[in-house]
Structure 1
Amino acid sequence: MIQDDDVPLPVPAVGEVLVEVAATSFNPSDLGVRRGLFPIDLPFTLCGDVAGTVGGTPVIGRVVAAGADFVTVPASDLVPAPATIPLAHAAAIPIAGLTAWQAVFDHARITAGMRVLINGAGGGVGGFAVQLAKHAGAHVTATASPRSAAAVRAHGADEIVDYTTAPLPAGTFEAVLNLVHVEPSGAEALVALGGTLVSVTVPIGIHFVARNDVRQLSGLVALIDAGVVKVDIAAVRSLTGLADVHRDAEAGLLRGKTILTT
């Protein structure tokens, strides 16, 4: 049974601020939380990205329980929002952007001239990863479905492989970023491609879960305001329709980043 309740306005603790939420976003990890793959205490509020205001100042951050009208957040976890895009669109940045940044720079250590394969470039992390790898000067081969190909091309991919009709491209890559769930045989193929393998999904190669890093988030905001990185919003939906977003995600109907406005 679904029941709607009014809850009190949260009160910030020492070191926290109250954020009036403009938008949050959906991330695939939210499905894992809902399926019980991570230990949580119920009741639990989903969503980990926030774009909103603190006393009228636009901010973004990676937080807990952002799927609400208001959320209390440690002030140190927030950074100024980009000035060049709508505030609600900035909700797409924290988790996906930090995951891409850490995959590209911290783990794969992508630099100019490297040949890179990004497996799953059509997702939210993939959009940022392609742009950051290109910004680093890499030659990027990306896998994407036909519905995502145009967006991936616009992000700067040098070559696009339609994974629905073609196998992973043969060749030697100095870095392979795996951003999708692959079967064991697919994982073996990625390893066989050579180079440094970084995975944000299945535990192969260098497998990691992105950490919160406000310095990196500020760096990403600077690249967005400089026009180097674009924030691609695939859909804007209401937070009240979060259940439908989850159903669509489970049916494989989502592309890129879906933001949820309050």
Structure 2
Amino acid sequence: MKAVLHDVYGPPEVLRVEETEPPVPGEGEVLVQVHAAGVDPGVWHLTAGLPYLIRAAGFGLRAPKRRIRGLDVSGRVTAVGPGVTRFRPGDEVYGIADGSFAEYTCAKAAKLAHRPANLTHAQAATVPISGATALQALRDAGRLKPGQTVLVIGAAGGVGSFAVQLAKALGARVTAVCSPGKADLVRALGADQVIDYTRTDFTDGTHRHDLVLDIAGNRSLTLLRRTLNPHGTLVIVGGENGGRWIGGNDRQLRALLLSPFLRERLLGLLAKERYADLDVLRELIEAGTVTPALDRTYPLTEVPAAVARLMAGQVRGKLAIQVRTD
């Protein structure tokens, strides 16, 4: 089968398409014929091996232990391993599979769900990681209630584009922060107010919110606290400017240490990969409440270009890799 591999950490150019043996499903796994795969920041972090913390976490100190990249997947089950009862060959699924930039990949059944019937494979492949992260940030960490106000920083990105729609579905009033070139997308997603961060300082304390999601931002906790109502909640979903060793995780660590001494709740989110959330997202998507914001698709041979575009901050919503036609 064809797959996108790399043997060294580095820029997107280290990724290449090669022929390799297809995987065999083990206990609790299914073999998926990949139709499409999503592109998210985790892909380029694992490609670059940065921050170094991820290498120490078991992904390979000097070289990647797993050579095939890709996480989000949408495709068709072709075989099931021992112990799998939720799926059978022919089922169309979407979810998370380490190594989805390939014609076939193995995934744990616990990380897959049936594909939303009203989505193409390319659309479905953009949902699992970003959609589930947004859902957990709002519902679980943020404890969002109807009528509350939410500020989404980074609203035009992968997680942000789902967070705006999910917050509206949960009954909140949403203020979205993005660059001026992406404001039209965010409005179309349902944001009640859109702030251009290049022209407006939304951390000056003028407007405060019950829940703030900071997605891949770099603002200090002091500034972010100015955006919160008394006893409001800040959920730090990511960060990209914390250095080569721990990346944006430094703010999450500081939030964990400071929160017990503050009236506000400051949290870092470590999203879980579970099929129950994929089922929730499927129901919302099939009801028309949530729609993936698919920017564009790339063929398997152009994965490096897709990752480079993501790193450059040029994506409106999500990117997908089209491996097979629907």
Same fold (TM over 0.5): yes
Q: 2:308 aligns with which of 247, 257, 261?
A: 247
Report the equivalent of 1:13: 26
- Counterpart amino acid of 1:173? H
1:162-187: CA deviation from partner (whole Å, max 9, x where unpaired) = 11221116322111010122143xx4
Secondary structure at 1:111 match in 2: coil
- Counterpart amino acid of 1:21? V
- Unaligned 5+ segments in structure 1 are none
Shift of 1:221: 0.4
Which is greater in Rg? 2
Shift of 1:2: 7.3
Report the equivalent of 2:102: 68
Report the equivalent of 1:127: 161
- Unaligned 5+ segments in structure 2 are 1-13, 78-88, 240-251, 256-265
- Counterpart amino acid of 2:207? G
Secondary structure at 2:33 match in 1: strand
**Aligned partners of 1:144, 1:137: CA distance in 2, in Å?**
21
**Aligned partners of 1:163, 1:4: CA distance in 2, in Å?**
39
Q: Is the 8 A contact 1:108 1:197 kept in 2?
A: yes
Secondary structure at 1:12 match in 2: coil
**Aligned partners of 2:45, 2:15: CA distance in 1, in Å?**
20
Name the stretch that deviates more: 233-242 or 201-210. 201-210
Shift of 1:16: 1.7
Secondary structure at 2:270 match in 1: coil
> Which stretches of structure 1, 4 residues or longer, exceed 3 Å deviation after superposition?
1-5
Report the equivalent of 1:140: 174
Name the stretch that deviates more: 229-238 or 197-206. 197-206
Distance 1:88 1:174, change over 3 A: same
Q: Is the 8 A contact 2:130 2:158 kept in 1?
A: yes
Report the equivalent of 1:222: 283
Report the equivalent of 2:93: 59
Secondary structure at 2:184 match in 1: helix
Q: 2:188 aligns with which of 144, 154, 157?
A: 154
**Aligned partners of 2:142, 2:289: CA distance in 1, in Å?**
20
Percent sequence identity is 35
Secondary structure at 1:174 match in 2: strand
If the length of structure 1 is used for normalisation, what is the TM-score?
A: 0.94
Listed as ranges, the matches of 1:80-95 within 5 Å are: 80-95=114-129
Report the equivalent of 2:44: 31
- When the two chains are superposed, the root-mean-square deviation of aligned CA atoms in Å is 1.6
**Aligned partners of 1:59, 1:91: CA distance in 2, in Å?**
10
**Aligned partners of 2:108, 2:119: CA distance in 1, in Å?**
24
Distance 1:189 1:225, change over 3 A: same
**Aligned partners of 2:33, 2:222: CA distance in 1, in Å?**
46
Q: Is the 8 A contact 2:154 2:217 kept in 1?
A: no
